[in-house]
Every structure is written in structure tokens, then in C-alpha cells.
């Protein structure tokens, strides 16, 4: 039902073609009524859109086969957000939640030809303002950019069940969407159909798996039916049962036993194997009335929280194996969700896979993602920490709103519960933290203690009663946590149990070394901001007058404001040197972000098994912006993402200096011990390698171990710290090499030589193999192609003197144009010599 739609502003006259799934903003762009809000300052000029009511309409015919069915249902997978739906003049449903599915029985309203389907969308901000004005107190909503939307101080987002980031965030624009954002279906059936199948994996081991297949069947009459589950992969009937079905909804349990199943594993641990299962319902030995197929990963995925000598553990256990969670926090890929194609989803997930991640946290201010997102995570072995969609706010969770939340939770827990990737449900992002530690409680108590009591009761009912009850009933066995971070019900600050969000370096402006001084049982958020690279900036800020971080355009695409710009600049000056121009500032912002996150990731992994998770903020962007992402909106990897590939590798050789002692840790995710040779080099920034030590080492399985230590001054043997770096290489017995570099002073104090980097480009399938060699140590070597989209297999790398590194550059440029547009710089090219 996604064709022949048109739309108009309710108080206007002109109809325009519409795309479904889609939204008002994208339809207005397609009809050239508004300009792309992501370009320069255009966001400011479209704030009127969410203040209007909008009407969508289509006409369609119904064939005889459809009309003759006993049951005809119209299903909307997503209406954004307040909508009345009429068919042939008869109102068939009202919607008030972006995250729910909506259905209506249209059997009596449908006719053979000329059916008219209308969806009337009410302004979400107007209805939000009406709710805002009815209460005498204000709900905290820390990221609602009401002033950018012309709403003054009216932070109305908490009254509407739609994606919080629509109303703005400190990395996103205020673009409050409206429209039919997911597909529409007309469904017709006779006798009986399958509504849902839940494969409740009761007991999973490598030897045997027990599954309770819970099949929900709707019937329009009493009947006897055969319900079967077929394992298509193994070509066998897994379970079958003759049942008596009564009119209405029926629940049928089919026990399935599997011997020696192929288990689903996360990225890096093994194959994320998926079985094909199909459930059938048939009557009188005829062909099936209905069937439902699924790709199912067989696995045991638990969160282990047991008391220990430190406090309490917090880690994911997959098929009996403790897994260090390596990953990132994920936000929606676009403000206009219909623009996120399957290929964008796949690139986004593969970028996580190729950075050696095994987990993404679907953050609570966005959306419960489309099915394809979770399908891809199943396929590629990415575990999911799934938030419910509540973030950084308090909500009026009582009465109709609380019931709406309950139904939203049921819809999404039921939809996602069969995915092998789903490992945890969390009630919200930082709402407990905000109440107890950001001053919200005190702020409301000052207005009236009774208001604080109301708000806190709503919080308790929402996160400690309703949501856990839904998870327990509809996805038994999966872990639920009331919030993230969460230590206990009053958000007691501690690093000895639960998960931690660590922002002291970025928000508190501590030195980058602060990342080496803080760890917890599970680091579920931490981050550092940077700008996109110059090639990306030119896409949304193409004019030369834009190319200053304080220009109107750059500030509009920096939602952290001047404070964020100043922090980046301050860290660059503290750690590096004054960038010589705008392009160099962008480059150094990425390098400082990458260095900061490298420190954090390595610290978390070194302290394994005390710490068992490291999820960086954030994986992606929803528009072109300065942010904490490691991949910009256009999919270009920032320096941080390239560093993550190495920091999250299955073997990490990580040096750290502790009270003048150089300590080298070997961290392994492998399930067997690893042997190999460790080479430790002192590299003079002018002369090259001046000293070297080799050590055979044994790395234990699935943990961190100190494998070498020595006093730095003793190891340097008189060489100056500001003129050398420590370079490490570990080669395992299969010849795989893992490297790392340790700087013994701030980069701004190091006497980097003006390295001469030579290159050769050899044509290969899909682009070029680029060989790079430097005569001296070269820091942060960055490769770019002027004005061209590209992908480079490694970048922002450190080149050892005289050692050739090869990288793949994906491009369709011919050799002459490739050389013409190729640019290679290193750290010393970013500042004026002094």
C-alpha cells in the first residue's frame, strides 16, 4: 500500500506527490518546496513544518480475491505520530505513538474500486505544547532544543512518544518529523493465520538445545489444525502438533530438541550461524493456510552479575564463554529515517564488524530500529544492547501515557525477541543519573516537593514496574536493567558494579591521561569530539567563508556550541600544536579524538576481567556535524575508527607507563593461549631505531596479562624522552603481526623530523594499492583524495622509518587523476615550524 500517495498542508490548497514510507520533510524537499535542511543554514528555515497539520491520501482498488476473504486488516508499521486514519470517509483508527504498530479491521469499509485512504497528521509540537500548558511544573528535557524550534522554553518532547533526537541533541538538529515512516499493508485471510512465533530458547549447550516454539494463531472459527515447525537448514520437521483451535487468539507450544546444534557466535569468536526455520499451519492435510519463516541463531546469551572481591561482576556470557564487549553506541543514521537504505544499514554494521567490534548499543533517544538492522547484526555477529526509547529526560508516565508506553514496549519486545543479537534491554539512557546527580530532583523540589514526588513515582512505575514486567512476560530469560548507567536504584556512583558513563575528560576538561586512570566493570559510554574531515565539511559548508570553526555555518553544525569548540581547541593546544589553518584544525581534531579513545579502549581492555565492556560514544552521525562519532554522516571513517581497528583487535599489545615503569600488557580475546615474539624498539625521531629487545611471550586465553616491564629511564639509557617513541610489534606463531606505539611525552613537546614520505600506486581491482615509505618516523599519516568519495583501508597511521606500509584505496579514478587528487600529510604538516 505504498504507492500513489499525495500530500498537502491542511490549511493549504495544493496537493503534491508523496513517497511512502517517508515523511513531510523529505516530500517537501522532493517537491522543491524546501531546501535540504542539512545544507549550510537551511535547518533554520524549516522550523515551521512541525507546527502545521498535514494530510496524506491515496486511492486504490481491491481485487475480488481480497474482497472475498473473511478477514481484511489494514496495518501501519509506523505512523509519525499523532494521526487519524479514515477509509472511504469512515475513521478506522487514531495513532499517538511513533514506535507502535497500528491495525484496523476494514472488511466492512472496503469496496471494489476507488477506495480512498486518508491519514491526517496533527502537529506534534502543537499537541505537545497543549500538554505542557496543562501542568504547573516542568519536566527536565536536557537536549530538547526548544529555542531552535521557535518554542522558547517550551520543552515539549517528553509529552509525545516519538524519537527524542527529533527535537535536537548535542550532536543533532531540531527536525521534528511527521509522516508515514514505515510501510503500509492490506492483509486478507480466511480460517486462520499465524500472528507470531516465539522461539524461546530454554536451554542451550553445544550438545543439546531445548526450544519452546510458542505459536500464536488467530482463527475466525473453531477448527482442528496441524501446526508444524520445519528446520529447513537440516531438512527435518523439528516439531508438529495436531491442535483444536477456537475462534480468536490461540497459543500453541511446540517443544523442539536439537542435538549438537551449530551455535551462533559474536564477531571474532566464531561463525554467527543462522538456521532457517518455517512454521506452518494447515487444515485437513491441505496445503498450509499460513506460514512464517525466520533465520534463527541458537545461542545462550546472558548478563552475569555476581558478587566478587571488588563488588559485582558485569559481563556478557555467550554460550558459556565470558565475552569482552567491544563496540560503540549507535544513533539513527539519519534524521529522515526513510532515507536509510538497506545498503546504508549494511555499511554501518560492516564498519563495526571491520573495526573488530562485537556489540552496538542502540541508544534510547532514537528509535527501535528497522528489522533489517537486527537481521544484519544477526548475520554478522554483532550483539545488541537495546535501550527502550527514553533518554536524558523525565516523562509523565502515568495513566494513558504509561499504558501507551506499555503497549509500545510489548510491540517492540515481541518484534525483536527472536533475534540472536539481542542481549539486554535497558529502561532508558541517563534518566536515573539525571534525577539523582544532575540537579533535576532538587530543581523540582524547589518548585514544590509534591511535584518531585509525582515525578519520581512516574519514574519508578515506568522503569521498575511496567518495562521489566513486559520484558519478563514477552522475552523471558533476557536481562533487563532499569537504566544506563545503572549501579542501583538510587544511582550510587561506583566503578565496582554495574555500568559507567565516563565524561570527566570531555566535560570536565581533565587531561587525556584521565582515560588511563578510569575504568569500571563495564564502560557503556565515553567519548571525545572531533570535526569531520575537510572533504566532508565541503559537502555541507562549501563556501570559503564557512571555513572557520566559528562561522555561522560551522557553529550551526556544532550542537555542543562554543564550549565544545573551545574544548577541542584547548586539547589540541595542550597535547599538540597550534594548527596552521582550518583544514589542519580539522585533521588535528580527529587525531586528538583518536588518541583519546585509543587510551580509553586500551585501558578498559588492559583491566580485563575487572572491566568487561567498552562501548565508545558514538558509532555514527544522523547529519553532517562536529560530534563524538568515529564515522561521519557520509560514512567516512575518522581517525578514531582506524585506531579502533587496532585497539579492538583479537590481540592487543598495550604499553602504559606507571610511576616511571614501562609496562606492556598482552590482551587476548582468543579462546586458546597464544605464543609469539614481542619486539620492543626505541625509535629516535631523526635517527631511526637505536635499541631493540626481543622477548618470546605466552599470552593466556581470554584475558589480560602483564608480559614485560622495565624502568623507562633504564630502558632509554640516556636518550631524551622528547626525541624518541617506543614501538612494539608482536608476531604470533602464524605470522600475524600486531603493533603499537607509546609516546613518552606530549606530542607538542616531541621533536618530530620533517619526514619525507614517498609512495607508489599500483592499480588493483576497485582502486589502487598504495605503498608508503618514510625516511623518518612520521606521525599520523593521512591520505585523502581531493573532492572525491573514497575508502582507504588504513589511515592516520604512524610510519616507522624505512618500513613500507601498503594500503588499499577504493576509487574509480584513472592513474593520472588519482595522482593529481592524492594528498598525503603527516603531523608535521599541520603546524608552522618553530
Q: At what angle do helices 371-380 and 342-354 cross, to 10 degrees?
A: 30
Query: In sequence order, what E strands does 376-459 have?
Result: 383-387, 422-426
Check residue 427 and report its DSSP letter. S
* CA distances in angstroms from 479 to 200, 384, 409, 415, listed in the order given: 14, 12, 15, 17
- Which residues have a Cβ under 8 Å from the Cβ of 281 and sit 6 or more positions away? 192, 193, 194, 215, 217, 225, 226, 227, 228, 288, 289, 290, 291
Distance CA 816, CA 811 (A): 13
Q: Judge whether 217 and 282 are in contact, CB under 8 Å.
A: no
- Strands laid side by side in the 805-810 sheet: 757-764, 767-774, 805-810, 791-792
Q: How many residues does the chain have?
A: 834
Check residue 44 and report its DSSP letter. G
Distance CA 736, CA 387 (A): 37
Q: Judge whether 516 and 595 are in contact, CB under 8 Å.
A: no
| Selected catalytic residue, list 43, 430, 533, 575 | 430
Distance CA 495, CA 312 (A): 10
Burial of 124 (0-12, 13-18, 19+ CB in 10 A): buried
Distance CA 454, CA 491 (A): 19
Tell me phi and psi for residue 797, to 5 degrees.
Answer: -95, 160
Q: Mark out the alpha helices in 475-543 (DSSP H runs).
A: 504-508, 534-540
Q: At what angle do helices 449-461 and 440-447 cross, to 10 degrees?
A: 140
Residue 676: CB atoms within 10 A of its CB come to 22
Distance CA 106, CA 358 (A): 44
For this structure, is 287 an active site residue?
A: no
Catalytic residues, by residue number, are 430
Amino acid at each position: 500500500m505504498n504507492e500513489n500517495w499525495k500530500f498537502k498542508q491542511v490549511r493549504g490548497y495544493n496537493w503534491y506527490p508523496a513517497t511512502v514510507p517517508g515523511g513531510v520533510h523529505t516530500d517537501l524537499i522532493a517537491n522543491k518546496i524546501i531546501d535540504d535542511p542539512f545544507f549550510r543554514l537551511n535547518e533554520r528555515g524549516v522550523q515551521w513544518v512541525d507546527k502545521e497539520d498535514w494530510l496524506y491520501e491515496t486511492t486504490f482498488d481491491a481485487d475480488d480475491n481480497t474482497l472475498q476473504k473473511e478477514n481484511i486488516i489494514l496495518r501501519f508499521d509506523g505512523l509519525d505520530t499523532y494521526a487519524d486514519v479514515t477509509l472511504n470517509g469512515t475513521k478506522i483508527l487514531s495513532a499517538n505513538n511513533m514506535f507502535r504498530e497500528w491495525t484496523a479491521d476494514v472488511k466492512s469499509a472496503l469496496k471494489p474500486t476507488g477506495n480512498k485512504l486518508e491519514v491526517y497528521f496533527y502537529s506534534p509540537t502543537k499537541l505537545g505544547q497543549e500538554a505542557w500548558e496543562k501542568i504547573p511544573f516542568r519536566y527536565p528535557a536536557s537536549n530538547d532544543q526548544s529555542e531552535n524550534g521557535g518554542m522558547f522554553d517550551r520543552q515539549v518532547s517528553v509529552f509525545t512518544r516519538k524519537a527524542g533526537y527529533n527535537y535536537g541533541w548535542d550532536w543533532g538538529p531540531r527536525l521534528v518529523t511527521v509522516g508515514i515512516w514505515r510501510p503500509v499493508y492490506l492483509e486478507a485471510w480466511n480460517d486462520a493465520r499465524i500472528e507470531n512465533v516465539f522461539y524461546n530458547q530454554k536451554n542451550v549447550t553445544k550438545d543439546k538445545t531445548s526450544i519452546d516454539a510458542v505459536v500464536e494463531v488467530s482463527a475466525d472459527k473453531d477448527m482442528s489444525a496441524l501446526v508444524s515447525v520445519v528446520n529447513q537448514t537440516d531438512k527435518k520437521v523439528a516439531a508438529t502438533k495436531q491442535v483444536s483451535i477456537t475462534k480468536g487468539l490461540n497459543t500453541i507450544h511446540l517443544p523442539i530438541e536439537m542435538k549438537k546444534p551449530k551455535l551462533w557466535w559474536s564477531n571474532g569468536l566464531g561463525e554467527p550461524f543462522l538456521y532457517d526455520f518455517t512454521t506452518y499451519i494447515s487444515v485437513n492435510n491441505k496445503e498450509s493456510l499460513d506460514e512464517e519463516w525466520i533465520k534463527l541463531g541458537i545461542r545462550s546469551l546472558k548478563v552475569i552479575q555476581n558478587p566478587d572481591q571488588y563488588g559485582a561482576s558485569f559481563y556478557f556470557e555467550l554460550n558459556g564463554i565470558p565475552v569482552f564487549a567491544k563496540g560503540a553506541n549507535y544513533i539513527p543514521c539519519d534524521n529522515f529515517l526513510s532515507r536509510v537504505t538497506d545498503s546504508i544499514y549494511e555499511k554501518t554494521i560492516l564498519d563495526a564488524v571491520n573495526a573488530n567490534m562485537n556489540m552496538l548499543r542502540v541508544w534510547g533517544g532514537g528509535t527501535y530500529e528497522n528489522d533489517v538492522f537486527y537481521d544484519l547484526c544477526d548475520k554478522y555477529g554483532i550483539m545488541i544492547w537495546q535501550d527502550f526509547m527514553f533518554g536524558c529526560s523525565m516523562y509523565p508516565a502515568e495513566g494513558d501515557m504509561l499504558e501507551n508506553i506499555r503497549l509500545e514496549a510489548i510491540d517492540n519486545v515481541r518484534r525483536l525477541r527472536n533475534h540472536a543479537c539481542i542481549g539486554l534491554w535497558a529502561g532508558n539512557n541517563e534518566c536515573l543519573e539525571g534525577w539523582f546527580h544532575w540537579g533535576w530532583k532538587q530543581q523540582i523540589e524547589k518548585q514544590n516537593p509534591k511535584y518531585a514526588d509525582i515525578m519520581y513515582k512516574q519514574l519508578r512505575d515506568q522503569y521498575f514496574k511496567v518495562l521489566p514486567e513486559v520484558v519478563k512476560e514477552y522475552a523471558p530469560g533476557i536481562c533487563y536493567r532499569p537504566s544506563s548507567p545503572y549501579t542501583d536504584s538510587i544511582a550510587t556512583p561506583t566503578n565496582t558494579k554495574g555500568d559507567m558513563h565516563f565524561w570527566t575528560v570531555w566535560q570536565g576538561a581533565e587531561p587525556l591521561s584521565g582515560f588511563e586512570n578510569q575504568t569500571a566493570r563495564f564502560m557503556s559510554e565515553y567519548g571525545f569530539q572531533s570535526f569531520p574531515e575537510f572533504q566532508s565539511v565541503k559537502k555541507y559548508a562549501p563556501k570559503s567563508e564557512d571555513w572557520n570553526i566559528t562561522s555561522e555555518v560551522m557553529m550551526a553544525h556544532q550542537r555542543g556550541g562554543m564550549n565544545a569548540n573551545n574544548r577541542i581547541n584547548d586539547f589540541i593546544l595542550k597535547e599538540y600544536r597550534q594548527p596552521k589553518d582550518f583544514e589542519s584544525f580539522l585533521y588535528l581534531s580527529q587525531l586528538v579524538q583518536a588518541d583519546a579513545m585509543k587510551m580509553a579502549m586500551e585501558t578498559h581492555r588492559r583491566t580485563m576481567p575487572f572491566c568487561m565492556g567498552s562501548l565508545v560514544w558514538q558509532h555514527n552521525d544522523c547529519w553532517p556535524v562536529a560530534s563524538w562519532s568515529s564515522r561521519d554522516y557520509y560514512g567516512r571513517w575518522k581517525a578514531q575508527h582506524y585506531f579502533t581497528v587496532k585497539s579492538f583487535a583479537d590481540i592487543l599489545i598495550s604499553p602504559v607507563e606507571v610511576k616511571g615503569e614501562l609496562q606492556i600488557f598482552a590482551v587476548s580475546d582468543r579462546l586458546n593461549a597464544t605464543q609469539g615474539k614481542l619486539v620492543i624498539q626505541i625509535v629516535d625521531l631523526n635517527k631511526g631505531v637505536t635499541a631493540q629487545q626481543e622477548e618470546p611471550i605466552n599470552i593466556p586465553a581470554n584475558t589480560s596479562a602483564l608480559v614485560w616491564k622495565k624502568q623507562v629511564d633504564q630502558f632509554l639509557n640516556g636518550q631524551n624522552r622528547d626525541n624518541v617513541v617506543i614501538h612494539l610489534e608482536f608476531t604470533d606463531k602464524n605470522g600475524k603481526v600486531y603493533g603499537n606505539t607509546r609516546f613518552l611525552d606530549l606530542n607538542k613537546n616531541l621533536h618530530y623530523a620533517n619526514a619525507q614520505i614517498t609512495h607508489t600506486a599500483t592499480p588493483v581491482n576497485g582502486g589502487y594499492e598504495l605503498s608508503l615509505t618514510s625516511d623518518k618516523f612520521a606521525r599520523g599519516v593521512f591520505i585523502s583524495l581531493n573532492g572525491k568519495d573514497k575508502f582507504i583501508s588504513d589511515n592516520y597511521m604512524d610510519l616507522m622509518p624505512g618500513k613500507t606500509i601498503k594500503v588499499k584505496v577504493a576509487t574509480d579514478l584513472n592513474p593520472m587523476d588519482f595522482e593529481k587528487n592524492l594528498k598525503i600529510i603527516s603531523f608535521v604538516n599541520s603546524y608552522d615550524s618553530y
